[in-house]
Amino acid sequence: MVVYPEKSNQAPLAEIHKQTVFPDGVDLVWRYSPRKKDGLNDQRKEQFSNMIGGREFVLSLPSKLITFEDTLDDLFRLIACRVIADQLDGININQSNDSFPEGKRVERKHYLRERSSALVEKAKKEYALKNNGRLPCEVCGFDFRECYGFHGDSYIEAHHIVPLSELCSADGTKTRLEDLAMVCSNCHRMLHRAPRVDLCSLREQFK
């Protein structure tokens, strides 16, 4: 997929050549790699990572779980963030909120990435058996049920220890129970925040 600006004599805004095929859809993967000769590319990479959560942007094509509108929203978000990072512009908070309802989109994309709800539920059950029915965060120990009572019962998030972009591929590689870690929402976000850290490194912050 190649996206050109309105003026066709300018360079493409994004050229996406890498794809990952799953039984339930196809993901296109684009990596931000600025090559301007002004010595500021590291700052551009940092700004892009702060907006996206990393230098790779995953664009899910329309499927049973992703609508055409979702794909277009993500594509426009990729282009907007790429332009902002290229120009090293400050982020307009109001414009970002109007254009990209991130809270809703991140949650929807997150559950799609997990791919198998059956696998996640099985992992939760096995983790609960090891902890006398509890589901504490493997990083900080936070327990949703202890904090929120019935409303937090059986809630925990599943984190892929190895990123799906590395774990899953078209050759049929499957996610195993040991590839998932049970973490709270805060720790999950920190694990995905650039620069990436692993479970052990983040756990050290609580000692």
Residues 20 and 62 grouped into a single domain: yes
Residues 90 and 175 grouped into a single domain: no
Phi, psi of 188 (to 5 degrees): -60, -45
Last residue of a domain, one of 114, 143, 166: 114
Q: Rounded CA gap, 129 and 83, in Å?
A: 48
Smallest Cα–Cα separation from 1: which of 75, 73, 80, 62?
75
Q: Convert the pLDDT of each residue in 161-203 to its tens digit.
A: 876 555 544 444 567 788 889 999 899 888 877 677 889 999 9
| pLDDT at 32 exceeding the cut of 60 | yes
Dmax (CA) for the chain in angstroms is 64
Give me the pLDDT at residue 145, please.
93
| Structural domain containing residue 36 | 2-114
Q: Rounded CA gap, 160 and 89, in Å?
A: 33
Residue with token string 């095929």: 21
pTM: 0.46
Residues 105 and 122 grouped into a single domain: no
Cβ proximity of 160 and 113 under 8 Å = yes
Q: Convert the pLDDT of each residue in 95-125 to its tens digit.
A: 444 444 444 444 444 444 444 667 788 889 9
Residues 160 and 132 grouped into a single domain: yes
Tell me the average pLDDT across 143-147.
Answer: 94
Number of H helices, E strands in the chain: 9, 7
